[in-house]
Structure 1
Amino acid sequence: MRRRRQTSSVRKQGLERKRPETVAQRSKRLVGKLIYRIPLPLQAARDSYLLIFGQLFLLLLLLGLGYYTYHYPELTHDHVSGLYAHLGSVTAKERLAERLLQGQLQHQFHRDKALDYLHESAAQGDPHSAYNLALARFKGLDQRLDRHRMDHYIKLAKEAGIHDAFHLYNACNNGRCNHIL
């Protein structure tokens, strides 16, 4: 028994030979020391007032847009089409021009804007806009379009397969369009 006590006391004093440290043990020991050296904040920083007011503004804007969209869906559709037309969409220009010409908006300002949209989309090659623009010239709404351009737009619409453009093309070829010049 006495011998055992001596060996245990030798172990306590650290005189016994140590086992070599493995790579995993060493990396665990070093990483543990590094983690405890990183200073961590005790409390998270508060949001600034500018950020809070920005979030409130965006929330109120979203609620306002939702209210406007729910109660005025036709006007919302017109505004979205106007945005896409401003960005260059040919179909949006054509639909907005038709809405401005045939809809409830029958003012001179809207008619001029609709004809501008028709000119832009017809110049980009849209056959429906080309037909509508030629028809507007035929009815006397647009004086900017000359006879050669009108014939070109009618032919473009006819080649695209618009049925009414066939009748207008035949009428102009028979000399019935001469009175609009």
Structure 2
Amino acid sequence: MADQEVRQRLLPRDKEEEGDLKDGFENLPLKARLKLARKAKADPAYILILEVLMIVFVAVAGMYCWFYFENVHFHVTHAYAHLGYDVAQHQVGQRYLHGKGVDKHPDKAMEWFKKAADQGHPHAAYNLAVGHLKGFKTDLKPGESHRLIHHAAANGVREAHEVLNTVCTKGGCY
């Protein structure tokens, strides 16, 4: 019974009651009246200009991302690497090593591999150890490259198994 009363109060019965609802603007609370009054006004010119500029900015940013994807990806990854994410640090090292989205810089690559390897990233540990064995500046102590390759092999890096079996067994990792 109560549901029927609520339904009857919400739905107008005839045209006269519809007119009464339109005139009920004054009966609304102040917040609702202000909100309706704001909606009735047209936006000022500076708001329209700002909206157009935002649309142009988004279109230009989208085109830049489309045509310079490697560069944008490097900078986003670099930001995450500075926040301390080991996967991002490894990616930045890879990009510096291969020159994707940034100029080649093997020394910076080894620095980023070192940061990621210090957090336990197995591929970064492998890349750092192999970079050390190839003569890049890594600041590794003697025997540390063997430990890094062993860590990488223990964590599923296939290439590390090969290096352990071919290079490290002959004493080349020290």
Partner of 1:118: 113
Deviation at 1:120, TM superposition (A): 1.5
From the superposition, tell whether residues 69 and 106 of structure 1 become closer, same or farther in structure 2 (CA, over 3 Å). closer
Cα separation, 2, equivalents of 1:129 and 1:177? 16
Compared CA separation, residues 83 and 48, structure 1 to 2 (3 A): farther
Residue 79 of structure 1 deviates from its aligned partner by 2.8
Kept in 1, the 8 Å contact 2:131–2:138? The answer is: no
Q: How many corresponding residue pairs?
A: 151
Q: In the aligned structure 2, how far is the partner of 1:155 from the partner of 1:168?
A: 9
What is the TM-score with the length of structure 2 in the denominator? 0.66
The match for 1:84 is: 80
Q: Structure 1 residue 93: deviation in Å?
A: 2.1
Question: 1:46 deviation in Å?
Answer: 4.4
- Asked if residue 162 in structure 1 is aligned to residue 157 in structure 2, the reply is yes
Residues 138 and 88 of structure 1, relative CA distance in 2, 3 Å threshold? same
Quick one: distance in 2 between partners of 1:124 and 1:53? 49
* RMSD of aligned residue pairs (Cα, Å): 3.4
Structure 1 Cα separation of the partners of residues 38 and 55 of structure 2: 31
Deviations 1:120-139 (A, max 9, x none): 11111110000000111111
Partner of 2:120, secondary structure, is coil
**Farther off after superposition, 93-102 or 131-140:** 93-102
Aligned-pair identity (%): 29
Change (3 A) 1:57 1:161: same
| TM-score normalised by L of structure 1 | 0.64
CA-CA distance at 1:97 after TM superposition: 1.4
Mean Cα deviation higher: 96-105 or 32-41 = 32-41
> Any idea what the Cα deviations from partners look like across 1:100-124, whole Å, max 9, x if unmatched?
21236554xx333322221111111
The 2-side partners of 1:86 and 1:57 are apart by 32
The reply on whether 1:36 has 2:26 as its aligned counterpart is yes
Consecutive aligned runs of 4 or more in structure 1 exceeding 6 Å deviation: none
Q: How does 1:104-143 map to 2 (within 5 A)?
A: 105=102, 107=104, 110-143=105-138
The gaps in structure 2 that reach 5 residues or longer are: 11-20
1:174 alignment counterpart: 170
The structure number with the bigger radius of gyration is 1
Bigger mean CA offset, 53-62 vs 157-166: 53-62
Q: State the partner residue of 2:140.
A: 145
1:101 equivalent in structure 2: 97
